[in-house]
Structure 1
Amino acid sequence: MKERTTMMSNLKKFGLAFLSVILLVNVIFQTNFVKAATNYGSDFLKTVELLDADGNPQTDFGYYDSIKVHYTWEIPNSTNVKEGDTMEFVLPPELKIVTDLDFSLKDHDGNTVGHVIAKKSTGQVVITFTDFVEKNSNISGYLDFWTNWDKSLVEGNENVPVEFPVNGTTETIDVGVGGKNQIDPDESLYKYGWADAENPELIQWVVRVNYSKQNIQNAVYEDFIGPKQVVDFNSIKAFHGEFDPDDNFTPGAEVPSSAITQTTDGFKVDLGNLTDSVKISYYTTSTDNGASPNYTNKGQLTGDNFIKQEIEVATPTSGGGGGGEGTTGSVELTKTDDSSQKNPLEGAEFKLVNGAGATVQTGLKTNADGKLAISNLKYDTYQLIETKAPQGYVLDASPVKFTIDDTHQSLFVSKENTAIKGSVSLEKVDRDTKSLLADAEFELQDKDGNTLKTNLKTDQKGKLTVADLLPGEYQFVETKAPTGYILDTTPLKFKISTEALNVTVTKENTKKPEIPKVPVPPKKPEKPDKIISEDSKQTALPKTGDSPLVNGWGLLLVAISASGLIALRRK
């Protein structure tokens, strides 16, 4: 019993081990067939330049300037980029984007080409392509990143070689950087702001008041919040203190909150008789989710013995953007029959196969004009293959081949079909005896009575055959009956269809009735004529001793008698 238990335990262990191996192999097998996305790095980046706020290319910038890094990019048609593939590269460390970025590359129709994510902390840019790259050719675009000098790396008033990733390698641009600004000793009002690095919807503002430490009686600072912003009144703080020439501030006494009042357009700070400097800080929240490239604000300082000072400033331009475009081609197929009229055929169905042999589209159907059109075709070699023939026609699966490229963007192709043809055999029979009748003549008409063929005659076996008939409705009309039969012009209708291509019909005829003969009554008998034989007409030779005169008178009497009889008979 103990041995049996041990054996069962070993079998269970073996089974579990075997199952584990199977699961592991399955995971490895599936993993090997999962295609990883391809990272093309900077291979598609073609050019790079630096632009100022007005969009002009520059190689000299101020220490506090916003600098736009402008890239162009292009995907070679020979590169088979797939949805989910990426471009990943890192911006130069000397130039830092203001905030994390997340935006889309779109074409002029609003189709998304790719998604862009850029990190402020590392400068890494990742572009993930959509299926746009699988459906278009000649794909190209641009990328823009607003940056500022990283002041921990750039001192100012120097020439900085900036190295950019391009074409799978790097390209260096030498940039002249201006010097740091020193605060003007006579400055009475200055203001600046920036978008928060972690939350671009949050804008920080700093106001520097009375750096020159003038004696301003009843000094009042008023702030006017710019568009697309809402001030957080509780964030407003004001401190007296000291600024050094590099804007480092040493705070002193805080301005009481009672001196800060909210206004319709912003807020106001009552500073009383002011003889030192004051730093005011606060933040606003954007109402457009941080989508604007920058935000503006205004401020003014007034006093009884002071000429009003006003200032309007904007945050450094931040953000990024870009776009992409692609090219596609189109094809139009015309489907006709193979007759000289080239009649259009509706209802033919096709599938589209690309150069790799993959089916791209199915169920492509010709319209009433015999046409089907396909647009948005990526450059490639294609085949249109018929999968269903029009009603009444023979399927022709031989492919229609064509190529879409720069010189053949809009193509027109055609495809003919041969009609399915049938035949009809007519048998002509006697209505009663069912015997076959020759020499009956017919005319073939369509269903509307239009004549198609004439002089169709049954042969000696009572049959006639008409071939090469397209599917449709027809009728025979008798034009001449067989000899001895009554003509019957009643149409004999029949139909040729794909289900019944060869049809046999029968036409009966009725024999003409015979006309009975009229009997002729016998004539009434008359007096029989005296028949004189030829022998009696012979003249008797006179006997010896007869008188010739007597014989002559006898002949005369006989002649007179015969004439009399003839006259009586004519009466």
Structure 2
Amino acid sequence: MTGKLKRDFIKRSLSIFLAFVMVFSIVLQSGITSHAEELSSNVITKAFVTDLEGNPITAPMDAWKAFRVNAEYALPNNQVKEGDTTTLTLPVGFAPSAPFNFEIKDASNNIIANGKLVDESPMKVVLTYTKYAEEHSGVKGSFYFNIQINSGTQTQTGVIPVTLTAKGDGTVIQAGTVTYNPHQVTGVQLIKGGWMDSGNKTIGHYKIAINQTNKEMVNAKVTDTLLNPGVQYIEDSFKILEGKWVSNATGTDILFTEESDITAQYKDKLKVEGNKFTLDIGNRPAGKGMMIRYKVKISYEPVVGEIFKNKVELIDGDKTFSYSASYKITDASGGGEGYVYKIKVNKTGKNGIPLSGVEFDVIRVRNNQKVGTITTGADGTGEIGNLVLDKYKLVETKTPSGYLPLTEPVFVEESDFTGNDKIALKNIVNQPNEKISVSVTKKWIGPAKDSVIVELRKVGSNDVLQEYELKASDNWKHTFTGLDKYEDDGTLIKYEVVEKNVPEGYTSEVTGTMENGFTITNTNVEKVEVSVTKKWVGPAKDSIIVELKKVGSNDVLQEYELKASDNWKHTFTNLPKYEDDGTEIKYEVVEKNVPEGYTSEVTGTMGDGFTITNTNVEKVEVSVTKKWVGPAKDSIIV
């Protein structure tokens, strides 16, 4: 083989190999890659309509009033892939109602499919399956979504069928019928509507229709008020529109036409303050009406069935118009039955005695707002209804006499609402308020008076609860009985005793405890004086020291140096008159060191004063000699 032929052969071989690789790759990819697609067969096995609470519809439906379409489904095994869809189309004349998105889950909260309402004419429901549907067999269940009659596109009246048409194979599923008999309407000066956002239930929408008669307006003003706590206006959502209100062809609706945005014209006339806004419309010529649109934000996650209320007032000339509107939180393919839940309390005391007249504030934990009050009757029970399924707390605000109040709230969990009656029952027991006694004893230091009055008070309060006159005849003792141990809020009461009028010349001291008893000691504070004078019999010394003692005691209470400069006198002052046991004290004075050659004698009394006499006792000698001038005698006396 020549070189050129060899090169050509290699090129042809390489081309064939590359072509084979490409074909094999395509075949391989087609074998391992799946593409999402509409299911070719219908999966809906049953459908029926109800109201939003799941009850049969028995009355005619108004336009734009939401109701529920319920559906049961069964998925074919090994045919559903992640991303596959089922599309269901409803007849023209129906429109979706919030929420527009929902999830279909199994009992373990795994998502089987995501549902979406498509706001077209006709409206559609699209179910998009997850990996769950691909990996499980025997998948079946139910779901529901909300729709409403669109007065603008619904051409039928009377009994209207509700159907679901499967896109995959064209199967038509009958869901029942609704009766629609629209009334003839005429324009009004003020009307309002509200609804939940289709994708976020913490957002609400409101629409205020003004002057549907297109007449002249004079000094017009709108005042709007949000009635639920925790809801506020989204200020940048306000739109003020001008247009012409006209009746539709059948006279069953008033349509807003030729609308234009005039929000900028009223920028300085729109005032939003808390849960209220005002709009000074002023004067407007005939031929035009108005519409105000705005959104609100709920500060917490609302629950299904919760209702949000609003009212609006229009002043036009000398007339005032009012309108109240509300909307309900709805769901799709989930629980929630609206305001059908109740809380019931059974209040008892000691030995199961029913307690009547007990009051509770019922507070919704989610937004910390009071939703009502429960008051117990003669049988000890009380209840509150029209509640959404949520967590609550019961705060006791009134307790029967003789019983302790609850110090902590009683919580009601969602799981407490059980049974067909949807009642959460709470058995609540109040403990009796125990009674205690407080004793007091009177002690005298000094002469006892005839009596004293003792007051009983709470610590920190000047209010006198009780008082008693203590006397010697009852051994100066008394016990206050039948006292509440606890305050109404459950805190322990601390009592004290106070002497009403302390006798003159006495102090009053309270010792002891509430548990062991109090002692009120009255101490006599009278004072006495003891005077002393120094008297010398013989030459006086420079000074002496005098000690003051109690008679019978060697303890020196005071001492003083007596000198000639103070005339040998001193008075001991401010001396207690009585001992602690009430006996009168007897004082005495003693010379500390008696000078050598002197004796010391104390005379006088404590009342008149003492005199200390120092007497000199020194001795001397005198010699004598007898001289006789003449014959001496035997003796003489000198």
Q: TM-score, normalised by structure 1?
A: 0.45
Relative to its length, the structure with more strand (as a share) is 2
- Higher RCO (C-alpha under 8 Å, 6+ residues apart): 1
